[in-house]
Amino acid sequence: MEGSFSSIYMSRNRVRTWDEPSFTIQAGGRHAPIHPQAQKMIWVEKDKWIFDPNSFKPYRRLSVRECARIQTFPDNFIFKYNNLLDGYKMVGNAVPVLLAKELASKIIIDIKQYQNFGVCHKLRRHKYPTQLTLLEPSSLTQTKIISAD
């Protein structure tokens, strides 16, 4: 991705280390996170950061493929686009694959329950509003949704 970095982009330290979670993958190449190989940016003043001129590794935006990995797309997934910005847009607008999988799994369970019993029993047992756990208790992370029958 060629092009300058906007003043808004440069108003924050855009470099994360390998151990830190990524910034949000946005639907634009100019807003792609900086690859963690480079050193942290240097704070100049309020809302102004600069790239460290002594960084051993260059500052570069993550590629479309690297952004896709953060969004949990498998490496063999093929994105078809002619313009690089369209690739960033596709990945940035996508729902992360593993999140979609977890949501779909929960929806399938609820549909099967409805087909077997005519009602989703988990929803009927709760008062208004209720919290539903999307992931099984054995999962490391859980997502909660507030729901009202």
Alpha helices by DSSP H, listed for 35-96, are: 64-70, 84-93
Burial class, 9, CB count within 10 angstroms (exposed 0-12 / middle 13-18 / buried 19+): middle
Superfamily for domain range 9-93: DNA Methylase, subunit A, domain 2 (3.90.120.10)
Instruction: Give me the residue spans of the domains in the chain.
Output: 9-93, 97-147
pLDDT one-digit tens code per residue, 82-112: 999 999 999 999 999 999 999 999 888 888 8
Residue 142, amino acid: Q
In the chain, the amino acid numbered 70 is I
Per-residue pLDDT tens for 16-75?
A: 999 999 999 999 888 899 999 999 999 999 999 999 999 999 999 999 999 999 999 999
CA distance 15 to 38: 7
Contacts of 126 (CB under 8 A, 6+ apart): 147, 149
Q: What is the pTM of this model?
A: 0.72
Task: Tell me if 81 sits within 8 A of 49, measured CB to CB.
Answer: no
